[in-house]
Structure 1
Amino acid sequence: MQELDTDGISVSQLDLWVVGAYLVAIIAVGALLSRLANKSIDDYFLGGRKMPWWLLGLSGTACYFDVAGVMWTIGIFYVMGQQFFWPQFMWGYIAMLACFATFMGKWLRRSGVLTGAEWMEFRFGKGSQGEIARASYAVMAVVIAVAFIGFAEYGCGSFLSVFIPRPASWKTGWAAENWPHILAISLMGITTIYTVAAGLIGVGFTGFIQFFIVLFGSAVLIVKAIELGSYEQIAEAVPAEWFHFAPAMENPRLGEWGLTQSWVLLLPVALTWVVKGAALGVGGPQQLYDLQRFLAARSPREASLAGMIWGVGLVPMFMVAAAVGTIGLVKWGGNISNPEQLYPLVVGTMLPTGIKGLVLAGLLSAFMSTFSATVNSGASYLTYDLYAKFLRPASTQVGLVRASWVCSLLVVIGGILIGMSAPDINAIFEWIMMVLGTGVLVPNVLRWFWWRFNGMGFAIGTLLGVLAAIASVLLFPDAPPYVSFPVLLAISFLSSVLTALATPPTDQAVLEEFYRRVEPFGFWGPVKKSIEQQSEAGNEFSSEGSHFGWDILSTVITAIGLQALYLMSTYAVTHQWREFALAGGVVLICSVALYFTWYLKLPGEVAERPATSKEVSMRKQAYETV
């Protein structure tokens, strides 16, 4: 195995000036937008629900271009080729993105809540069960946000330290040993300024700008990759199956890299990832910035449109991963031991002065977009669902906005501590995906689709699920995912269902109000029957219809279309033009089909029903000065 040498990487003064000018400009934009975010807590965390769908969707897309995640994806593409799409299901991937666009986005917007934790009281009521579900969700949300900030901090520091070496005088001591963390913390400090000042409005608009900067940086690398190598040159460095999308039962090549050595039995591992991705999709956004974008949409229709452009906008991320990985194969061969380091090496050694600065600004934009969205999301739970709910319920709107500044700083500090204490980036990623992600998987699904599921079932199912996942990592660290995941899933499912059945159900009035506003599908028979009986008695239930069949069909078509679109992008980089054309045909067919099954079925612009008097009262208690 050959180890990449990053000593030859340098950055000119012009490149540093370009990066510096960008940082100043982005802070200025955040400062200008701060006045729009400080009117109320709703303006601060949801932009007053006035932000257009295209801005929400593309700024959300920019959040997925974090440096650490892209470095990980590049390393996987280098090793796995076109099969690198399968590990993406660990975070949801096309299953989650398709659900965003077809039904989950509009369901979330119909709820009309401020945070995912407040949604728990909307679903389970304001009694003890609703409160315990809300508190457990908020705590998990803050923990996940802090963990992702730690993940971003570690990856960003590793990336920046390649370009900016520590001062020659810093040979020993704490600063010398932690130079990557110093760089990451410095950038996080700059980002925190506009994140704290401007709330989601600042995060959204700067994320939108950052998307196009990232797009430019990606385009430069993609063109470079296509020009540099041919299909034959790539084929000299990799086996034939590297070009295939379908996973084989076993792939011995994966055992040669620490990044992929636990995935040698690829087919059962890939099937496990797909099941997890599907569950992440139908369970709705996890406790991150995804959910916040849909709650901030102007209507359920715009929430669905934001979900669709979100998925389409991810094309450059996969294409740049393929581009950098392909450059690595052609230029350095197929036996690099640390392929995740290809990202800084390619940017640092193959781009001309000036362009390098612009691409670096794009990469920093990716980190800043992810970081700012995560901080804003985590602070919303800490402020609104924990501080205002349990410590200062009588806080004014201005008081809550100020408290959110402090909470944002606390979330940042927590993430920095995790990033500085982690042994490597894979350790943080595994902890997020396996421990935290698996623990909340089943309760998140049941809350949408089963009327009998209650707040106690959610809290206990989450608690036992997370504890079981922690025990699995500590006691059976070498267990393959296709063995550990079904066991963890069963523990979480049984604990959630049995607890729900052993405790009182959610109040019928709460369930009926939830069903009326959200219109979910699933096992809601008793609730739906009660509402229909009330409608017959003169209590009208105005519904546009849940379009259950159309939503499911559109979800499948969207997932297939997105996968074909992503494959088109990577096939272009690897010069697989026949496969490119076939994937393009699939994209065309899916696009035409979605016009009829999805676009024409979207809710109207006025689909969101006005709040009831009970909801108005609840909102006043939550938002007005007591």
Structure 2
Amino acid sequence: MVPRIYHIVANLTVWDWFFILIYFLFTLLVGFYFTRRATTNIAQYFTSGRGMPWWLLGTSMVATSFAADTPLAISGLIVKQGIAGNWYWWCMVPIHVMGAYFFARLWQRAGVLTDTELVKIRYSGKPAKILRGFRALYFSLPYNCLVMGWVNLAMANILGMTFKFNKLTSVLICFFFTMTYSAISGLWGVMVTDFFQFFLAMGMAILLSIYTINHIGGMGVILERLAAIYGGASKTMISIFPHDSPLPPLYNQLLLPTSLFLLYIGMVWWTTGNTDGGAYLAQRMLSAKNEKHSFLGYLWFSIAHYSLRPWPWIIVGLGAAVMFPGIG
């Protein structure tokens, strides 16, 4: 069966516009506030003077790890593959646990400004230059273009639904806004706004999950309607661990097959990039007060990233499977 497409139109009130403007103004003010401190020297700009506490840098890691596309992607996984579909990214748990215990202190101890600088120190000669050049090209072009592409597409779709903007206008507005406060305030402004944005996003996600439960009539009703709509596959949809099940009535595919689950936990997690906690995670650890704060920050990120953050979205995903059967 071809998945259904639902057209949802959002109508914003004056209060909606008021809070949106407050959010934009607050974020810009944070950026301007930290401009002088961030531009004192290069260490302040890239590592916040190496004085960040664990709770701030860890929360910044969590906030940076999800964007407009993440709640949509996870809710979509729930609808099409059940809760177990999250093993697509839950399989990365070993990376971050090992990162906290084996790499967090080492990143802080390295004393570099970026993970690229570590490559320069660790390797020498012509091979090191080739490696740095490859990393620069790989992360700047194919990797970041793909990541930014799907993130911006999700953001453009959301803004198109709420503000009636076309995709190009949406991308340009958000690019200008984000670039402004990030460029002028360095890591100081980025981490402080991350902290604020994390609690704002999580608060709204929790409220949405509560609204979803109340709107449908409670978790018991959600489970009953899942069984009525998806038949025998409903039990698999709410199972954390997958097992092959009958086809859901509205889809011509299995929920998460056991073979794919085994592939995730057996191979994907150790073949992915940044298994050492590099990139934006390393940048936060490099800004820590000391090795202890680097370790605790990475550990807090790992706990919040996997154990706390996804559950409101999972509830919303189950609600979406009930309210919009066959959504595509």
Short-chain TM bin:
0.7 to 0.9
Q: The residue matched to 2:40 in structure 1 has which SS?
A: coil
Structure 1, residues 268-295: CA drift from partner, whole Å, max 9, x if none?
A: 2222222221344883135x31221122
TM-score scaled by length of structure 2: 0.87
CA distance in 2, matches of 1:254, 1:28: 51
Which residue in 1 is equivalent to 2:296? 305
Distance in 2, Cα, partners of 1:319 & 1:254: 25
Distance in 2, matches of 1:305 and 1:221, equals 30
Q: CA deviation at 1:254?
A: 10
Percent of aligned positions that are identical: 22
Q: Indicate if the aligned counterparts of 1:121 and 1:133 stay in contact, CA closer than 8 A.
A: no
Pairs within 5 Å for 1:215-614: 215-227=202-214, 228=216, 229=218, 230=220, 231-238=223-230, 239=233, 240-249=235-244, 252-253=247-248, 256=251, 266-274=257-265, 275-280=267-272, 283-286=275-278, 288-314=279-305, 315-333=307-325, 335-336=326-327, 338=328
CA distance in 1 between counterparts of 2:205 and 2:256 reads 32
Is the 8 Å Cα contact of residues 96 and 280 (structure 1) preserved in structure 2? no
Query: Could you say what secondary structure the match of 1:285 adopts?
Result: coil
Aligned-residue offset at 1:211: 1.0
Q: Distance in 2 between matches of 1:221 and 1:21?
A: 21
After superposition, the C-alpha distances for 1:550-570 in whole angstroms (9 at most, x for unaligned) are: xxxxxxxxxxxxxxxxxxxxx
Mapped partners of 2:313, 2:6: distance in 1? 20
In our comparison, the structure showing a higher alpha carbon Rg is 1
Q: Is the 8 A contact 2:81 2:237 kept in 1?
A: yes
Partner Cα distance (2:38, 2:106) in 1: 25
Once residues 282 and 189 of structure 1 are traced to their aligned partners in structure 2, the CA distance between those partners, rounded to angstroms, is: 28
How far did residue 74 of structure 1 move? 0.8
Report the number of matched residues: 316
> What is the distance in 1 between the residues matched to 2:51 and 2:138?
28
Cα deviation for residue 237 of structure 1 reads 2.6
Q: Give the direction of change, closer, same or farther, for the CA distance of 1:146–1:46 in structure 2 (3 Å limit).
A: farther
Asked whether the 8 Å contact 2:104–2:285 carries over to 1, the reply is yes
Return the alpha-carbon distance in structure 2 between the equivalents of residues 43 and 152 of structure 1: 28
Residues 78 and 329 in structure 1, CA contact (< 8 A), matched pair in contact too: yes
Letter matched to residue 196 of structure 2: I
Q: Is structure 2 residue 174 aligned with structure 1 residue 149?
A: no
| Paired position in structure 2 for 1:86 | 87
Change (3 A) 1:254 1:69: farther
SS in structure 1 of the partner of residue 242 of structure 2: coil
Distance of 1:293 and 1:253 partners within structure 2:
43
- Shift of the 9–36 alpha-carbon distance from structure 1 to 2, 3 Å rule, reads same
Deviations 1:165-207 (A, max 9, x none): 24xxxxxxxxxxxx12211220221111110000111100110
Partner deviation per Cα, 1:363-418 (whole Å, 9 max, x = no partner): xxxxxxxxxxxxxxxxxxxxxxxxxxxxxxxxxxxxxxxxxxxxxxxxxxxxxxxx
Aligned runs of 1:66-105 on 2, under 5 Å? 66-89=67-90, 93-105=92-104
Aligned to 1:130: 128
Shift of the 297–151 alpha-carbon distance from structure 1 to 2, 3 Å rule, reads same
Give the Cα separation in 1 of the matches to 2:282 and 2:61.
10
Q: Distance in 2 between matches of 1:113 and 1:268?
A: 42
Q: Which amino acid aligns with 2:300?
A: I
Code of the aligned partner of 2:201: V
Deviations, residues 452-498 of structure 1 (Å, cap 9, x unaligned): xxxxxxxxxxxxxxxxxxxxxxxxxxxxxxxxxxxxxxxxxxxxxxx
Structure 2: how far apart are the matches of 1:241 and 1:27?
Answer: 45
CA contact (8 A) 1:98 1:311 kept: yes
Compute the displacement of 1:2 (Å): 5.7
Alignment check: 8 A CA contact 1:251 1:265 kept: no
Structure 1: 5+ residue stretches without partners: 167-178, 339-626
Deviation of the 1:64 alpha carbon: 2.1
Q: Find out whether 1:213 has 2:204 as its counterpart.
A: no
- Indicate the structure whose relative CO is greater, using CA pairs within 8 Å and at least 6 residues apart: 2
Q: TM-score, normalised by structure 1?
A: 0.47
Q: Residue deviations 1:75-133, cap 9 Å, x none? A: 011122221221115xx6312221232212122222221222211122223x2222222
RMSD between superposed Cα atoms in Å? 2.4
- Separation in 2, partners of 1:109, 1:254: 52
Q: 2:36 corresponds to which residue?
A: 35
Letter in 2 for 1:246: F
Q: In 2, are the aligned partners of 1:249 and 1:267 still within 8 Å (CA)?
A: yes
Compared CA separation, residues 265 and 157, structure 1 to 2 (3 A): closer
What residue identity is the alignment partner of 1:210?
Q
Residue ranges of structure 2 left out of the alignment (5+ in a row): none
**Counterpart-to-counterpart distance in 2, 1:254 and 1:33:** 54
Deviation of residue 317 (structure 1)? 3.3
Quickly say closer, same or farther: Cα 1:13–1:265, change in 2 above 3 A.
Answer: closer
